[in-house]
C-alpha cells in the first residue's frame, strides 16, 4: 500500500491535508500512540517506503528524524556486516545511496584489478588473469589433448595456455598439500553491495591425466573471503615474495603507514575438486566497506602431472573469480579514507 492510503475503511492513516484541514483533530495522545505504532512498523520498511511514509504528516516526519529508524530500514534491505563506520553521514543518507545502487541491479562485475598475491609460479601466470573470463575454458571444457592436437593441425589455435600465454593464476609449487594461498583484489568502489562470489579452479586439459585418469584440476581444499581495506597486502610489483597475512593480524600502522581494517569475513566453504566453480551464497545482499576482497585458499588438492620429476609438488591454480553486485557511489566510510577504489 502507498503511504498515506488506507487498506480498509476502519483504519484511516492521517495525511498532511487531514492534519491541517480537520477542525477537530484527535487528542495528541492518540496521535502519539499512532506514531509509536508506525515507528514499530517503519523499522521493517525499506528506505523508499519509509521516505514516502515521512511525507504523510508532520508527526511521522518528526518520528522519521530518528536515525536509528533509518539504520533499521537499511538493515532490512542489506546485510551491513555488523558495525557500519560512516564518515560524517547519517544512516538516512546512507540508505538513500544504497537504495540508488539497488535500483540499478546487482549483476555488475565488481573486480577492478589485482593488488596482491601470496605466490606466483611464473610471471605470466599472475593474479590479473583471474579477472577476465577466458574463452578457452568454455571452448575446451570437454576437449581431450588428442582432440586439441587435431584442431591445431587444422590451423586453429585452441588455447593460449599451452603456448606460454596462460589464462589463469598459478601459485608457486609446494611439497605441502596443506599450504595456503591468497589473492587480493581491488573492487570498483570503496563501498559495494555484494550479491555473489564464485571461484573457478583451473583445469589443465593439456596436461597428462592424474592417477585417477582425470585431467588435473588445481583447486584449493576450502576458501573464505575477507572484505575491508588491506594496504598491508598490496604489492608493487605484483608477486614479490611476502609473508602470508594472518587472518587475525593487522599491520602495525606506524607513521606513514595505513592500517589493515577488516569489515566482514565469510564462513569457510569447501571447494569441489572440479572446474565448475564454487559459490559463496548470501542470505541477502551484503554491504561491504573498504574496497578490497582478500580471497583465502586453504590447502591444495592437486599434484603436478606435467613432468614426472615434479609429481610430488602441489599447486593452486584459479582461472576466474567473479564478484557481482553494485558499486555504491557517494557513500564514504571511515575504513576507506573517503575515495572511490576503481574505474566506472
What pLDDT, in 10s, does the model give residues 16-48? 444 445 555 544 444 555 666 776 777 778 888
257 pLDDT band (50/70/90 cuts)?
A: low
Closest C-alpha among 179, 122, 184 to residue 303: 179
Within 10 angstroms of residue 163's Cβ, the number of other Cβ atoms is 11
* DSSP H helical ranges for 25-162: 28-42, 47-53, 58-63, 67-77, 91-103, 135-140, 145-153
In this predicted structure, the answer to whether residue 138 has a pLDDT above a threshold of 60 is no
Tell me, what's the pLDDT at 253? 38
The predicted model gives 258-287 an average pLDDT of: 88
The pLDDT mean for the chain works out to: 76
Q: How many residues does the chain have?
A: 344
341 pLDDT band (50/70/90 cuts)?
A: very low
3 pLDDT band (50/70/90 cuts)?
A: very low
Residue 159 near residue 202 (C-beta atoms within 8 A):
no
Higher pLDDT, 250 or 258: 258
Torsion angle of C-alpha atoms 248, 260, 319, 300, degrees rounded to 10: -20
Closest C-alpha among 152, 174, 173 to residue 162: 152
> What DSSP character marks residue 198?
E
Closest C-alpha among 228, 327, 265, 285 to residue 76: 285
Return the residue matching grid coordinates 523499522.
Answer: 43
Tell me, what's the pLDDT at 273? 92
Angle between helices 67-77 and 91-103 (to 10 degrees): 30
Return the residue matching grid coordinates 514499530.
Answer: 40
69: CB partners within 8 A, 6+ apart: 39, 42, 43, 50, 63
The model carries a pTM of: 0.76
Torsion angle of C-alpha atoms 146, 126, 309, 163, degrees rounded to 10: 30
In this predicted structure, the answer to whether residue 181 has a pLDDT above a threshold of 60 is yes
Amino acid at each position: 500500500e502507498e503511504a498515506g492510503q488506507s487498506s480498509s475503511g476502519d483504519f484511516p492513516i492521517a495525511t498532511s491535508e487531514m492534519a491541517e484541514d480537520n477542525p477537530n483533530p484527535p487528542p495528541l495522545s492518540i496521535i502519539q500512540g499512532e506514531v509509536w505504532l508506525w515507528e514499530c512498523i517503519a523499522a521493517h520498511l525499506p528506505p523508499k517506503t519509509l521516505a514516502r511514509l515521512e511525507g504523510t504528516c508532520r508527526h511521522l516526519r518528526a518520528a522519521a528524524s530518528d536515525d536509528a529508524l533509518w539504520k533499521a530500514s537499511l538493515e532490512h534491505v542489506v546485510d551491513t556486516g555488523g558495525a557500519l563506520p560512516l564518515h560524517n553521514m547519517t544512516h538516512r543518507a546512507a540508505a538513500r545511496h544504497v537504495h540508488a545502487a539497488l535500483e540499478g541491479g546487482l549483476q555488475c562485475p565488481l573486480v577492478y584489478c589485482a593488488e596482491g598475491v601470496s605466490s606466483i609460479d611464473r610471471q605470466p601466470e599472475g593474479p590479473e588473469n583471474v579477472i577476465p573470463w577466458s574463452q578457452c575454458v568454455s571452448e575446451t571444457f570437454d576437449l581431450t589433448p588428442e582432440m586439441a592436437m587435431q584442431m591445431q593441425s587444422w590451423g586453429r589455435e585452441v588455447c593460449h595456455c599451452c603456448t606460454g600465454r596462460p589464462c589463469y593464476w598459478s601459485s608457486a609449487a609446494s611439497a605441502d598439500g596443506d599450504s595456503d594461498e591468497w589473492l587480493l583484489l581491488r573492487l570498483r568502489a570503496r563501498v559495494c553491495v555484494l550479491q555473489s562470489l564464485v571461484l573457478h579452479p583451473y583445469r589443465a586439459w593439456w596436461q597428462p591425466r592424474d592417477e585417477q585418469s582425470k585431467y588435473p584440476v588445481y583447486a584449493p581444499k576450502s576458501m573464505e573471503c575477507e572484505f575491508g581495506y588491506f594496504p598491508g597486502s598490496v604489492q608493487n610489483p605484483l608477486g614479490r615474495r611476502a609473508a602470508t597475512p594472518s587472518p587475525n593480524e593487522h599491520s602495525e600502522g606506524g607513521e606513514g603507514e595505513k592500517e589493515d581494517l577488516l569489515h566482514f569475513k565469510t564462513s569457510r566453504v569447501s571447494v569441489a575438486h572440479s572446474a565448475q566453480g564454487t559459490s559463496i551464497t548470501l542470505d541477502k545482499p551484503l554491504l561491504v566497506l573498504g574496497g578490497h576482497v582478500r580471497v583465502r585458499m586453504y590447502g591444495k588438492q592437486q599434484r603436478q602431472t606435467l613432468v614426472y620429476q615434479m609429481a610430488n609438488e602441489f599447486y593452486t591454480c584459479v582461472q576466474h573469480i567473479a564478484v557481482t553486485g553494485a558499486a555504491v557511489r557517494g557513500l564514504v566510510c571511515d575504513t576507506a579514507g573517503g575515495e572511490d577504489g576503481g574505474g566506472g
